[in-house]
């Protein structure tokens, strides 16, 4: 496998081609807008390509730790089932589809855990969930290489 340039570098190079070589030659305003949007999507994809597996695995571990803590105090059948569904996913695979599948299941377990914490009125657990959500959104913001509204 040719490892360098890395995927994010390849995508970045395509972005540069679009911006520097193709965009200036386009005169149709609608096509120009679509190209600018496309370039933004590609830049975001480059950020994701560089980090998304690590980010998802790290967050999966944190979400599951939270779910386990809630389960120990306010366990419910839906929460236990959601946690079991995570464990049914291949834990060691680094293929993107597997990591994504496990991450989504962990998100569902986290949601069930948060619901249980809310139902129990467990303020400390709700606050902990809020911190995890903050962390999740901080990651989403890193993916937003830029958020500039074009075409409005």
Partner 1 sequence: MDALGPRFERFLAVVEPAREGRVVACEAITGGYSRISARARVQWRDGLEETFILRGDPPPGSGVFASDRDAEWELLSVLPTATPVSTPAVRWYDGSGEYLGSKAIVMDCAPARSLQDEMARAGDAGSLTDLFVDTFAAVHGTRLDRLPARMLRPPDWPAYLDGVLAHYDRMAQEYPSSAPVFRYVTWWARTHQPPPAPLGLVHGDCQPSNVLVGPSGPPLVIDWEFAHIGDPREDLGYYTQIPLEPNVYWVDPERFLRRYRAATGLTEEQVNPQTVDYFLIIGMTALLEQLLAAAAAIGAPERPGILAPYLINAISHQHDMFLAICDRLS
Sites of contact with partner 1 (CB under 8 A): 29-30, 33-34, 37-38, 40-41, 44, 104, 107-108, 110-111, 114-115, 118, 126, 129-130, 133-134, 136-137, 140-141, 143-144, 147-149, 151-152
Q: Which is nearer to partner 1, 61 or 133 (CB)?
A: 133
> Could you tell me the smallest distance in angstroms from the CB atom of residue 25 to partner 1?
18
Q: What is the smallest separation between the CB atom of 24 and partner 1, expressed in angstroms?
A: 18
Give the whole-angstrom CA distance, residue 113 versus residue 131: 14
Shortest distance in whole angstroms from residue 129 CB to partner 1: 6
The candidate with the shortest Cα–Cα distance to 42, out of 79, 85, 93, 8, is 8
Give least dist CB 134 to partner 1, A. Answer: 6
* Smallest distance from partner 1 to CB 4, Å: 26
Q: Are 15 and 43 in contact (CB under 8 A)?
A: yes
Estimate the share of the chain in helix, then strand, then coil, as percent rounded to the nearest 5: 80, 0, 20
How far apart are alpha carbons 86 and 62 in whole angstroms?
13
**1/75 with CB nearer partner 1:** 75
How far is it, in rounded angstroms, from Cα 100 to Cα 97? 5
Cβ closer to partner 1: 4 or 46? 46
Nearer of residues 2 and 121 to partner 1, judged by Cβ: 121
Can you tell me the distance from the alpha carbon of 133 to that of 142, in angstroms, rounded to the nearest whole number? 14
């Amino acid at each position: 496998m040719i490892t360098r340039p890395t995927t994010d570098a390849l995508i970045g190079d395509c972005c540069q081609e679009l911006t520097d070589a193709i965009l200036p030659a386009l005169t149709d305003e609608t096509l120009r807008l679509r190209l600018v949007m496309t370039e933004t999507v590609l830049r975001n994809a480059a950020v994701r390509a560089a980090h998304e597996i690590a980010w998802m695995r790290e967050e999966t571990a944190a979400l599951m730790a939270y779910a386990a803590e809630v389960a120990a105090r306010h366990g419910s059948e839906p929460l236990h089932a959601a946690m079991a569904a995570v464990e049914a996913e291949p834990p060691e695979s680094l293929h993107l589809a597997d990591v994504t599948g496990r991450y989504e299941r962990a998100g569902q377990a986290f949601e069930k855990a948060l619901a249980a914490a809310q139902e129990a009125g467990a303020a400390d657990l709700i606050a902990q969930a809020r911190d995890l959500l903050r962390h999740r959104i901080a990651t989403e913001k890193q993916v937003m290489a830029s958020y500039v509204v074009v075409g409005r």
